[in-house]
Structure 1
Amino acid sequence: MALGVLCLGLTLLGVLQSQAQSSSQDLIPAPSLRRVPLQPGFQKDQFQGRWYVVGLAGNAVQKEEEDNFMMYSTIYELQENNSYNVTSILLRNQHCDYWIRTFVPSSRAGRFTLGNIRSYPQIRSYNVQVAATDYDQFAMVFFKKTSRNKQYFKITLYGRTKQLPEELKERFVRFAKSLGLTDDHIIFLTPTDQCIDN
């Protein structure tokens, strides 16, 4: 009897381990920061202000959920210590939701880490890198987070307006695919006038 219970326990443990491995294998591996372009001569003062999130791509983004994603905005406010206070504003459950965090500059201009990371015990590391921007029309920003032994990454396509030319969207898709993502991991968000212009 005890041997039977032991065998059953070991079998269940093996099933749980294989499920955990397969769920982490489902994530496309996150590239190193060295593989991601960094905007040359990044101008921190020109980058600040409101950006609309026009597109999202990432190893945890699902194309089939595209219709559920409404556009949101993110405001970068440059501080005296060269960090940014970053506020994202989105419509959630018919209410305006504000998500505020701090991006602290690293040794390379255009690369940041999450400030006060100790407030997020589940996050081991969080990096942000401005891959490309013209400051006036668009930006592509890379995010990489390590949480509970999994690495997540995403790229946002920011626009100073809610609509961007098709060639910029195509450039965004090419960039996402160059980092190993597929069409199933790339979405464009539905514009809205609720909350995100506040």
Structure 2
Amino acid sequence: MAAPRTLWMALVLLGALGVLQTPARAQASVQPNFRQDQFLGRWFTAGLASNASWFREKKAALSMCSAVVAPAPPGEGDGVLNVTTTFLRRDQCETRSLLLRPAGPPGCYSYTSLYWGSTQDVWVEETDYGEYALLYTVGTGDRGFHMATLYSRTQTPRAAVREKFTTFAEAKGFAEEDVVFPPRTDKCLEGHQ
């Protein structure tokens, strides 16, 4: 009698783990009729929320980054985007680039994290292209890592856009204290309004 009970408990635990790992994917969607050409250009990371331990440890020290989204160089494939991010780290401006490869319907991408060595899936869930974009990222190998990001075309998004991001992040399961609006820094964003 102990063996069936142990098997049942194991199945319940596996089921619970599956449920805990899949909500991020189940909750993800993309902007209807996503227009990649309108998504290109300069954005500022005006809002972030994440369950990653590094984020929780360093969120008070984060500052706004700029990101330039452009078509990838020829030979990378159709629909591939090159994202070049500039940010302040240790009082120096750093720039990193990554390739977002189409991974489903338009607005859904994946990339390999050079730092973590894992695949990240990114969905552009909502955007008006001219003012804001709401992105959702899930790490497929990072023990349940997920992140919500507010891209803004300006360094000072309107209060309504910030509220929209807070609501979006909370719908993704983040608590209010997980939501950060990094302050801008003139050092790495100079000349990029």
Q: Same fold (TM over 0.5)?
A: yes
> How many pairs align?
167
CA-based RMSD of the aligned residues comes to 2.3
Q: What residue is the counterpart of 1:19 in the other structure?
A: none
Structure 2: stretches of 5+ with no match in the other structure: 1-16
State which structure, 1 or 2, has the greater radius of gyration over its C-alpha atoms.
Answer: 1
Matched, 1:69 2:33: no
Matched, 1:105 2:102: yes
Give the TM-score taking structure 2 as reference length.
Answer: 0.78
Q: Distance in 2 between matches of 1:122 and 1:72?
A: 20
Q: What residue is the counterpart of 1:157 in the other structure?
A: 150
CA contact (8 A) 1:91 1:196 kept: no
Q: Distance in 2 between matches of 1:30 and 1:133?
A: 24
Task: Give the letter for the 1:166 counterpart.
Answer: A
Matched, 1:46 2:43: no
Q: What residue is the counterpart of 1:16 in the other structure?
A: none
Q: What residue is the counterpart of 1:4 in the other structure?
A: none
CA contact (8 A) 2:24 2:172 kept: no
Matched, 1:96 2:89: no
**Corresponding residue SS for 1:191:** coil
CA contact (8 A) 1:53 1:71 kept: yes
**Change over 3 Å in CA distance of 1:35–1:51 after alignment to 2:** same
Q: What residue is the counterpart of 2:135 in the other structure?
A: 141
Q: What residue is the counterpart of 2:122 in the other structure?
A: 128
**Change over 3 Å in CA distance of 1:179–1:29 after alignment to 2:** farther
Task: Give the letter for the 2:148 counterpart.
Answer: I
Q: What residue is the counterpart of 1:180 in the other structure?
A: 173
CA contact (8 A) 1:76 1:87 kept: yes
Q: What residue is the counterpart of 2:163 in the other structure?
A: 170
CA contact (8 A) 1:30 1:153 kept: no
CA contact (8 A) 2:24 2:146 kept: no
**Corresponding residue SS for 2:166:** helix
**Change over 3 Å in CA distance of 1:50–1:162 after alignment to 2:** same
Q: Distance in 2 between matches of 1:55 and 1:179?
A: 14
Q: Distance in 1 between matches of 2:116 and 2:63?
A: 26
Q: Distance in 1 between matches of 2:87 and 2:135?
A: 18
Task: Give the letter for the 1:54 counterpart.
Answer: A
Task: Give the letter for the 2:28 counterpart.
Answer: V
CA contact (8 A) 1:123 1:145 kept: no
Q: Distance in 2 between matches of 1:95 and 1:30?
A: 38
Q: Distance in 2 between matches of 1:77 and 1:168?
A: 24
Please report how far the alpha carbon of residue 173 of structure 1 lies from its aligned counterpart in structure 2 after TM superposition. 0.8
Task: Give the letter for the 1:75 counterpart.
Answer: V
**Corresponding residue SS for 1:154:** strand
Q: Distance in 2 between matches of 1:124 and 1:190?
A: 29
Please report how far the alpha carbon of residue 128 of structure 1 lies from its aligned counterpart in structure 2 after TM superposition. 0.6
Task: Give the letter for the 1:69 counterpart.
Answer: L
Give the TM-score taking structure 1 as reference length.
Answer: 0.76
Matched, 1:195 2:153: no
